[in-house]
């Protein structure tokens, strides 16, 4: 059966018993972080120190001697207790060990650079690629210094409010000065060299867009004259098509110029997606302006047909439009071929994946323009031969359907790009193998690689690091003889704690350096990878 509760010092035990009563003898010591030890309780050998006795247990019924009780010798049991440090309570908010940079100390605590000279300076591993170390300060030191300078938290809060108001006023004055400077340049002329944003329109996708704007603008003007002269529904659809192309390509030019803006605190990853946004709006514009108006004019022509005037000028303008649109189409095709070759992709893959949304829009719009010119010319020819105006209206519907197909494709591809699609499985496998082949990595999990657009990839993974390899990497940079002497000098709990905290922090810094090294290797071997987030598992 189970023996009733027995006490040894201040500890209670319940032990299974079979015939033998047991007396426990133990001494428990709890160590705090300052090396003190406390005796919680002890039991001397004769059991008389605390006056506690053990209960005797009846072992069973004896049929021959019912009144006899059996006794057995007492056997001591020793209990070992580990010496542990007392757990330190930090509370819900603990900032005493936080580091902050000098810039943050000056801005948030309203200090001067001379105030920081009197504080402790600590060299830490830099998070930036261009510097190895940088100087930081203890937050507690900075807070104490700010209170010393300003006298009280209320005075510091008033100074922060005053500086915030001054910053808002400065921004308003800056905006006003920028407007005056822009008006000055407009009046006297801008003699500064051409900026990098303007230079984007003289090469690559910017050049293709500017050529398309000029050609489509001229085509719209001449097609509009032809429609006014002939009244052809197909010619009206062509004029609307050229107008839609001109407006959409002007929107693409705006997207290209906005995508060149440098990142700011509100947009830390930059503005490259502005090209996809402009292309998406362009696709919607093609659908509404081009396809919608063409369908509308074609349906009106079917419901209320009217004879078409002489189509000679219309044929001439369509022939000129075919040549100009074809030239723009060739420029776009050559640009996409060059870019696809540089990325190691086929022409079809480059277009479908929307690697360059601006050039894609020009390519598809010009391809649709060439086909729509052929459709319009065919339907107008049938109308002139048969005298039936319905062919001309059917041509307008055909042009609208072609434009609707192109707009649907543009909306789909640009939406997929803006949603953040994954990169190709082969490229993801190369990145995974590069990480797993490093000796410091045991395994990687939850791998995500997102195409941010314009050949920019963001890579994220949870990494299971090998602690032994990280520790060995730290030990390889240390003087082993000196480290051994430090170990031999450890005699007390305080010295042990100080030794472990010192080298534990250094090992964590070594782990951070290994993470930085892996991120740098990924970026160097894969130029498309611009942002790497490795989480320690």
Opening angle at CA 95, ends 160 and 85, nearest 5:
170
C-alpha distance from residue 470 to each of 382, 511, 519 (Å): 80, 6, 16
Other CB atoms within 10 Å distance of the CB of residue 211: 18
Other CB atoms within 10 Å distance of the CB of residue 97: 9
Locate 28 and state its tokens: 């428990």
463-505, pLDDT tens digit by residue? 999 999 999 999 998 998 999 999 999 998 889 989 999 999 9
C-alpha distance from residue 412 to each of 270, 312, 347, 425 (Å): 23, 39, 18, 21
**Please, where in the chain does CATH 3.90.530.10 lie?**
99-151
Phi and psi angles of residue 114, each rounded to the nearest 5 degrees, phi first: -70, -30
401-426, pLDDT tens digit by residue? 888 888 888 888 888 888 878 888 88
Check residue 514 and give its pLDDT: 92
The CATH class, in words, for 425-536 is alpha beta
Residues 467 and 318: their CA atoms lie apart, in Å, by 73
Question: Under a CB-based contact definition with an 8 Å cutoff, are residues 42 and 79 in contact?
Answer: no
Check residue 438 and give its pLDDT: 93
Superfamily of segment(s) 99-151: XPA C-terminal domain (3.90.530.10)
What residues in the chain have per-residue pLDDT under 50?
1-69, 190-195
Residues 86 and 33: their CA atoms lie apart, in Å, by 6
Superfamily of segment(s) 195-419: Cation efflux protein transmembrane domain (1.20.1510.10)
Question: Under a CB-based contact definition with an 8 Å cutoff, are residues 350 and 336 in contact?
Answer: yes
Residues 66 and 64: their CA atoms lie apart, in Å, by 6
Check residue 291 and give its pLDDT: 81
Question: Under a CB-based contact definition with an 8 Å cutoff, are residues 236 and 396 in contact?
Answer: yes
Per DSSP, the chain holds a count of helices (H) and strands (E) of 17, 10
Residues 257 and 215: their CA atoms lie apart, in Å, by 20
pTM beyond 0.95, yes or no: no
Best CA proximity match to 400, nearest among 240, 212, 226 = 240
182-191, pLDDT tens digit by residue? 656 655 554 4
C-alpha atoms less than 13 angstroms from C-alpha of 110 in its C-beta half-sphere = 19
* Residue given tokens 């930081």 in the structure block: 136
Q: What is the CA radius of gyration of the chain?
A: 41
Locate 141 and state its tokens: 């030191």
Opening angle at CA 324, ends 321 and 327, nearest 5:
145
DSSP β-bridge partners for residue 451: 457
Check residue 80 and give its pLDDT: 65
The helix/strand/coil state of 265 is coil
Check residue 441 and give its pLDDT: 94
Check residue 213 and give its pLDDT: 87
* 200 DSSP 8-state letter: G
Beta strands in 78-228 (DSSP E): 99-101, 122-125, 133-138
For 396-406, b/e burial (b = at least 16 CB within 10 A) is: bbbbbbbbbeb
Question: Under a CB-based contact definition with an 8 Å cutoff, are residues 380 and 234 in contact?
Answer: yes
**Please, where in the chain does CATH 1.20.1510.10 lie?**
195-419
């Amino acid at each position: 059966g189970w023996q009733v509760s027995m006490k040894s010092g201040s500890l209670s035990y319940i032990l299974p018993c079979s015939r033998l009563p047991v007396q426990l003898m133990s001494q428990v010591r709890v160590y705090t972080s300052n090396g003190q030890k406390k005796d919680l309780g002890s039991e001397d050998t004769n059991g008389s120190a605390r006056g506690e006795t053990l209960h005797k247990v009846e072992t069973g019924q004896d049929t021959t001697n019912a009144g006899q009780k059996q006794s057995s010798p007492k056997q001591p049991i020793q209990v070992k207790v580990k010496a542990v440090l007392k757990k330190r309570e930090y509370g819900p908010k603990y900032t005493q060990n936080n580091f902050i940079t000098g810039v943050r100390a000056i801005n948030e605590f309203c200090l001067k650079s001379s105030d920081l000279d009197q504080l402790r300076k600590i060299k830490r591993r830099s998070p930036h690629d261009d510097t190895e170390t940088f100087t930081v300060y203890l937050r507690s030191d900075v807070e104490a210094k700010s209170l010393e300078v300003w006298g009280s938290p209320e005075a510091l809060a008033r100074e922060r409010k005053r500086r915030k108001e001054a910053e808002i006023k400065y921004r308003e004055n800056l905006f006003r000065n920028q407007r005056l400077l822009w008006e000055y340049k407009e009046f006297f002329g801008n003699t500064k060299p051409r900026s990098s944003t303007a230079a984007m329109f003289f090469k690559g996708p910017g050049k293709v867009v500017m050529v398309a704007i000029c050609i489509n603008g001229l085509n719209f003007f001449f097609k509009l004259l032809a429609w006014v002269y002939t009244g052809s529904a197909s010619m009206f659809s062509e004029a609307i098509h050229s107008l839609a192309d001109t407006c959409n390509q002007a929107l693409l030019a705006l997207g290209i110029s906005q995508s060149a803006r440098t990142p700011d605190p509100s947009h830390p990853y930059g503005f490259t997606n502005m090209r996809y946004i402009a292309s998406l709006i362009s696709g919607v514009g093609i659908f509404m302006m081009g396809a919608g108006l063409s369908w509308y004019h074609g349906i009106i022509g079917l419901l209320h047909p009217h004879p078409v005037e002489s189509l000679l000028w219309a044929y001439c303008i369509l022939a000129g439009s075919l040549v100009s649109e074809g030239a723009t189409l060739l420029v776009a095709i050559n640009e996409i071929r060059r870019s696809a070759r540089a990325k190691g992709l086929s022409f079809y893959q480059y277009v479908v994946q929307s690697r360059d949304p601006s050039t894609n829009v020009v390519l598809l719009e010009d391809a649709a323009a060439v086909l729509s010119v052929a459709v319009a010319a065919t339907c107008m020819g049938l109308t002139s031969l048969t005298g039936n105006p319905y062919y001309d209206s059917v041509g307008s519907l055909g042009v609208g359907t072609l434009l609707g197909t192109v707009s649907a494709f543009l909306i789909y591809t640009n939406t997929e790009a803006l949603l953040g699609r994954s990169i190709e499985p082969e490229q993801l496998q190369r990145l995974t193998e590069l990480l797993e082949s490093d000796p410091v990595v045991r395994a990687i999990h939850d791998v995500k690689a997102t195409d941010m657009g314009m050949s920019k990839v963001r890579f994220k993974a949870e990494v299971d690091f090998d602690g032994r390899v990280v520790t060995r990497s730290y030990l390889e940079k240390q003087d082993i003889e000196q480290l051994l002497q430090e170990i031999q000098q450890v005699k007390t709990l305080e010295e042990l704690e100080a030794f472990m905290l010192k080298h534990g922090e250094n090992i964590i810094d070594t782990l951070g350096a290994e993470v930085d090294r892996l991120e740098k290797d990924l970026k160097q071997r894969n130029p498309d990878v611009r942002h790497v987030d490795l989480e320690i598992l």
